Structure 1
Amino acid sequence: MGKKIKLELPKIPPVLEEGSFRNIYRDEDLHLMNCKITGEGVDDVELDQVVLSKVVFKNVTFTNALFNRVDMIDVIFENCNLSNASFKEGIIHRVTFKDCKLMGTDFSEANLGNVSFINCMGNLSSFVDARLKQVVFKETSLQSANYHDCMFTKATFSKCNLNDVNFAQTLLKGVDISTCTFERIHVALDSLDGCEVSAEQAIGFAKLLGLKVVE
């Protein structure tokens, strides 16, 4: 297994006032800062270029919400439902998603740095054309997720379900998938150069090359 990635965690003040997502409409520039939001429903909202900073969301529902070109820094989502939400073209820095539903969530063309996905359900999520630098996926289901034409820098997948994931046109050099499970993934064999895999996975990829592995 490769070196553990050291992430910059969200910088959250020790004390946050309880807030409401509705407060974002009080600011013409759609800023929401320095608050904790618990148990709200923010479904089907559509906002462009929202700025979220030093915010903790807990048990909040964002299903079908569109936050294209969002600017997020120092944010925590805990036990939130972001299914089919869109963060397309967003800038996402020092953000943690923990115990969240991310079914079909769209991160395409986004820039993610120092972001962690921990024990999340991210099946069918999209990271098409995204740039991921110092990003960790841990104990997260990513079945049929789409990483087409991504750029990974210091990224790791730890104990994730990667079945049927699409890594087409994505270089996996330095990416660790050695602890992950999958029956099949979509990847060009030359894109695996430098990818960190387990011995069992290496045998599976060798068979794709037409080699007969003698055990």
Structure 2
Amino acid sequence: MALKKDKSSNAPEAPRIPERLIELAIEDYEIQDKQSFENGRFGQGTIANQTADKVVFDRVVFENVHFDQIALERAELTDVVFNRCDLSNVNFRDSILHRVQFINCKLLGFDLSNTTMRNVKFDQCNGQYSVYRFADMKFVSYLRSNLDKADFYEASFSKTEFAESSIDQAQFAGAKLAGIDLSSCEFYSIGATLEGIQGCIVREDQVRGFARLIGVVIKEA
């Protein structure tokens, strides 16, 4: 385990959102398989009880939208922003996300298992119990977010950062954290393998959390 060092910038590329978007009324849509939404903005409201496959969102903004009982597996999201949205327990498994931002969102139990994520940012989100099992991440940032008990089982991290976030009891078993800087995060313990934490960057006081993985008790001097 390496101690804290200067971080290189792995900032994701921002979504490319047009200046003018079509205002879309949530109540006007029942989402269908392979449906495409482009150049639009969904304002305050609720999208409820929708299940569809291979839906495409391209240059779309969601603001103050509550997703309730939503399953959109194998979706494609490109240049999409979720701002102050509630996506708790939403299912986006097997989806592709490219240049997507989640800003100040509620993501309790949000399921992104088996997703491919490129240039994705989570900022000031509540992602407790969110699921990223087997996700393939590159240029992904988790900033100032609560990821307690999140599940990153066998996720793949490339140029991924966790900054100023809580990751207590998050599950990283099967994932390799080499080069991942957790020094600005807070946790008492995390789930991981000894092999997986090799090369992870932490503060001296955080070494205690890793010591618990092998049952080591550190005695105060």
- Of stretches 55-64 and 202-211 in structure 1, the one that deviates more from structure 2 is 202-211
The residue number in structure 1 matching 2:13 is: 8
Which one of the candidate residues 138, 153, 174 is aligned to 1:169? 174
TM value normalised by structure 2: 0.90
Q: Structure 2: 5+ residue runs without aligned partners?
A: 1-5
The answer to whether residue 190 in structure 2 is matched with residue 181 in structure 1 is no
Checking the alignment, whether the CA contact within 8 Å between 2:208 and 2:218 is kept in structure 1 is: no
Query: Aligned partners of 1:125 and 1:102: how far apart in 2?
Result: 6
The answer to whether residue 135 in structure 2 is matched with residue 130 in structure 1 is yes
Query: Aligned partners of 2:32 and 2:213: how far apart in 1?
Result: 55
- Of stretches 82-91 and 196-205 in structure 1, the one that deviates more from structure 2 is 196-205
**Percent identity between the aligned chains?**
32
Query: Aligned partners of 2:59 and 2:114: how far apart in 1?
Result: 23
Shift of 1:193: 1.2
The answer to whether residue 50 in structure 2 is matched with residue 45 in structure 1 is yes
Shift of 1:64: 2.1
Shift of the 157–91 alpha-carbon distance from structure 1 to 2, 3 Å rule, reads same
TM value normalised by structure 1: 0.93
Counterparts of 1:186-205 in structure 2, within 5 Å, are: 186-205=191-210
Query: Aligned partners of 2:86 and 2:98: how far apart in 1?
Result: 20
Query: Aligned partners of 1:141 and 1:207: how far apart in 2?
Result: 22
Checking the alignment, whether the CA contact within 8 Å between 2:33 and 2:54 is kept in structure 1 is: no
Shift of 1:206: 4.3
User: Alignment length, in residue pairs?
Assistant: 215
Checking the alignment, whether the CA contact within 8 Å between 1:18 and 1:37 is kept in structure 2 is: yes
Q: Structure 1: 5+ residue runs without aligned partners?
A: none
Which one of the candidate residues 71, 75, 78 is aligned to 1:66? 71
Query: Aligned partners of 2:125 and 2:53: how far apart in 1?
Result: 25
Which one of the candidate residues 138, 148, 154 is aligned to 2:153? 148
The answer to whether residue 93 in structure 2 is matched with residue 88 in structure 1 is yes
Indicate the SS of the match to 1:42: strand
Which one of the candidate residues 157, 164, 188 is aligned to 1:159? 164
User: Which structure has the highest strand share of the two?
Assistant: 2
Checking the alignment, whether the CA contact within 8 Å between 1:132 and 1:152 is kept in structure 2 is: yes
Shift of 1:113: 0.6
Checking the alignment, whether the CA contact within 8 Å between 2:56 and 2:76 is kept in structure 1 is: yes
Higher RCO (C-alpha under 8 Å, 6+ residues apart): 2
Shift of 1:50: 0.4
The one-letter code of the counterpart of 2:142 is F
The residue number in structure 2 matching 1:33 is: 38
The one-letter code of the counterpart of 2:96 is I
Shift of 1:203: 4.4
The one-letter code of the counterpart of 1:97 is F
Checking the alignment, whether the CA contact within 8 Å between 1:2 and 1:196 is kept in structure 2 is: no
Query: Aligned partners of 1:204 and 1:118: how far apart in 2?
Result: 25
Shift of the 111–120 alpha-carbon distance from structure 1 to 2, 3 Å rule, reads same
Which one of the candidate residues 62, 65, 88 is aligned to 1:57? 62
Q: CA RMSD in A?
A: 2.0
Checking the alignment, whether the CA contact within 8 Å between 2:70 and 2:90 is kept in structure 1 is: yes
